Amino acid sequence: MNYPNGKRSASVFKNNNLYSHQFGNRGMSLEKDINDTNAYYLETNKAVIHKKPTPIQIVKVNYPKRSAAVITEAYFKQASTTDYNGIYREKYIDFEAKETKNKTLFPLANIHQHQIDHMEAVVAQGGVSFILIRFAVLDETYLLPAEKLFTHWNAQLNGGKKSIAYETIKQQGYFIPFQYKARVDYLTIIDKLYF
């Protein structure tokens, strides 16, 4: 069955069972869900937030055919900062998105010092910065404000834990329920925290 816009229905048959695309593929990709959410925000004039491209330096290109160039060697020009940035209600928004298969903790090794430095600079200038963390196995996504992340990062640098416990993220972060259009509706939480 197709919707009037030509897209296929969310429900399909899988292994002779009705399988809901809405819930069945939820854990597939945090990045895709955020990109879909950002597209919805843009379409509805709610916010302008995009994924930042990672700057690369192309070194070698293979031309097997004139119409099919293949990049065979490239390097990152510089360390990237965070994944997403944009503007919402006249506030600069800047955040990182991470997915983990771990059920009990989020490893801080997934974050880098230059990203923390960037997030600290954003906060110091009055911008909104945070990290979205998806526990893929649990199919749960949380928004953790940058200020809370900084506390755990600094504790790690001073001999503390090199991870944030799932229970701590549940307490200090904000659960984002999966939705149909705004799949990872993080702006609802930003509204509560900043407006």
Instruction: Tell me if 73 sits within 8 A of 56, measured CB to CB.
Output: no
Within its chain, how far is the Cα of 185 from the centroid?
A: 11
Instruction: Tell me if 77 sits within 8 A of 57, measured CB to CB.
Output: yes
Residue 54 labelled as part of a binding site: no
Residue 81 labelled as part of a binding site: yes
Rg of the chain over Cα atoms, rounded to whole angstroms, equals 19
Q: Encode 90-120 in three state secondary structure.
A: CEEEEEEEEEECCCCEEEHHHCCHHHHHHHH
Handedness of CA 52, 57, 59, 64 (dihedral sign): positive
CA 89/CA 48 separation, integer angstroms = 10
Instruction: Tell me if 188 sits within 8 A of 47, measured CB to CB.
Output: no
DSSP-assigned letters across all residues of 118-164? HHHHHHHTT-EEEEEEEETTTTEEEEEEHHHHHHHHHHHHTT--SEE
Residue 167 labelled as part of a binding site: no
Residue 147 labelled as part of a binding site: no
Annotated binding-site positions: 81, 83, 96, 115
Annotated binding-site positions for Mg(2+): 81, 83, 96, 115
